[in-house]
Amino acid sequence: RPAVVWFRRDLRLHDLPTLLSASDAADEAVALFVLDDALLRPSGPRRRAFLTNCLRALDDDLGGRLLVAQGDPATVVPAVVREFDAAEVHISSDHGPYGTRRDEAVAEALRDVPLVATGSPYAVTPGRVTKPDGSPYKVFSAFRRAWSEHGWHSPAVTGADTIGWIDPGDTGLRVPVPEATVDSLPPAGEKAALRRWREFRDGTLDRYATDRDRPAFDGTSGLSPYLKFGCIHPRTLLHDLRDRNNDGAVTFRSELAWRDFYADVLFHRPETARTNYNADFDAITYDSGPDADELFAAWCEGRTGFPIVDAGMRQLLAEGVMHNRVRMIVASFLTKDLHLPWWRGARHFMRCLVDGDLASNQHNWQWTAGCGTDAAPYFRVFNPTRQGEKFDPTGEYVRRWVPELRNVEGSRVHSLPDGPPEGYPEPIVDHAHERRVALDRYARIRPPR
């Protein structure tokens, strides 16, 4: 009897341990992906379009044999098992709050057909790196040390021919892969991910430690959408870098450790997708009401009058992408200059980002707001103008995204000493004043520093 390989966040054929366990159990398999509304709905058009482009690429790599079905996986997966009389269903594990619940429901619905999980989307599966007493790490640097010591497997040697793929034919369960309705997306799929990785590894990586903070440069890997959907696995990257120890490689490894760390944090504390990791911050007051809504709309649309903030938010709307440094600046601005709750910003990010990922998004937001792991310095309030001058010193990034400022030269584009040019708004708040308000609110719940 055949197996079912149910693809989820592992849209690739190389370095995929699931294929090894499926091929141990069966000679043939049905390749399945389930379009699940519970995941698609909050994704926003860009991430959905990138996903469907990745499905098309996977289908090509499988010679047109990917069965794409739609509906609740607890109904659809057993239906596929019945249709093909499959003996087992193979997956790579999902440790997110929704994925865990979904897989429990599917395992129950499958009754005596085993749901076999092999591997995960992380270098080290969430929950595996613990303190000697078995408790989870709460601080990144300690996690990273233990994570490095724990280590990871070598890449699994797999490909399209690891198992025979059954042609699913015209089964009534099959639905067409939806057309992508947005453009300017990164090229999709495993081949594109590998191409991007090699380009970065053999070029920019050596300068990564210095260039990664400059939003005007193409100084980072751009791999996050591919990592999100598993078009490439972090283990592949870490293995490629095993003998490289220059600053670029060391810093890049550390960024991959952040990804694993936040997945681990969410695994241990699934409720922190919605609530403060540090409950001391539950007492902080955020603004609400029509004025707050108007400020929020200005932030979303990139018309705050703070050029680096507006550039980032407009890039997010136009491309579903934002540089890490700019994500920190706009998140600090929302929580500490506009006094709006981090989860409002996080929800907007999740709707817009091509790489939107619950663990990385919610916990980076919490880190910026000060209520997350690492006892982040809640009293540090980014000055958006100084941040712009420091990390976009030529002003190139801002001019690229804010056409009203195209004629303002050099770093003056951040401070606008002659006032905003025609068509560009005055700053919607006074940063110095709002900084004091934020510090005052924080001081009420935490001892001042």
R_g (Cα) of the chain, nearest Å? 23
Name the phi and psi angles at 91, rounded to 5.
-140, 165
Q: Of 3, 227, 232, 334, which lies in the binding site for ligand FAD, with binding defined by CB under 6 A?
A: 227
| CA–CA distances in Å: residue 112 to residues 8, 92, 433, 440 | 22, 19, 64, 59
Please list the alpha-helical segments (H only) found in 37-96: 37-40, 44-61, 73-84
Span 256-275, contacts to ligand FAD by CB under 6 A = 256, 258-259, 262
Q: Of 49, 353, 381, 416, which lies in the binding site for ligand FAD, with binding defined by CB under 6 A?
A: 353
Strand-pairing partners, residue 7, are: 33
Residue 96 has, within 13 A of its CA and on its CB side, a CA count of 18
Q: Of 355, 374, 389, 392, which lies in the binding site for ligand FAD, with binding defined by CB under 6 A?
A: 355
Q: Of 52, 120, 364, 385, which lies in the binding site for ligand FAD, with binding defined by CB under 6 A?
A: 364
What residue type is assigned to position 249 of the chain? Answer: A
**Are the CB atoms for 84 and 165 separated by under 8 Å?**
no
Q: Should residue 119 be labelled a site residue for ligand FAD when binding is judged by CB under 6 A?
A: no
Task: Report the candidate in 103, 106, 231, 90 with the shortest Cα–Cα distance to residue 163.
Answer: 90
Residue 230 has, within 13 A of its CA and on its CB side, a CA count of 23
Q: Should residue 204 be labelled a site residue for ligand FAD when binding is judged by CB under 6 A?
A: no
Q: In whole angstroms, how close is the CB of 301 to ligand FAD at the nearest point?
A: 18
Q: Should residue 365 be labelled a site residue for ligand FAD when binding is judged by CB under 6 A?
A: yes
Q: Binding residues for ligand FAD, how many (CB under 6 A)?
A: 27
Q: In whole angstroms, how close is the CB of 395 to ligand FAD at the nearest point?
A: 21
**232-261 mask for ligand FAD (x: CB under 6 A)?**
-----------------------xx-xx--
| CA–CA distances in Å: residue 294 to residues 179, 289, 304, 322 | 34, 9, 11, 23
Determine the interface stretch with ligand FAD among 90-98, 125-133, 159-167, 356-364 (rule: CB under 6 A): 356-364
**Are the CB atoms for 32 and 6 separated by under 8 Å?**
yes
Q: Should residue 9 be labelled a site residue for ligand FAD when binding is judged by CB under 6 A?
A: no
Q: In whole angstroms, how close is the CB of 111 to ligand FAD at the nearest point?
A: 36
Q: Which residues bind ligand FAD (CB under 6 A)?
A: 212, 220-224, 227-228, 255-256, 258-259, 262, 324, 327-328, 331, 349, 353, 355-357, 360-361, 364-365, 368
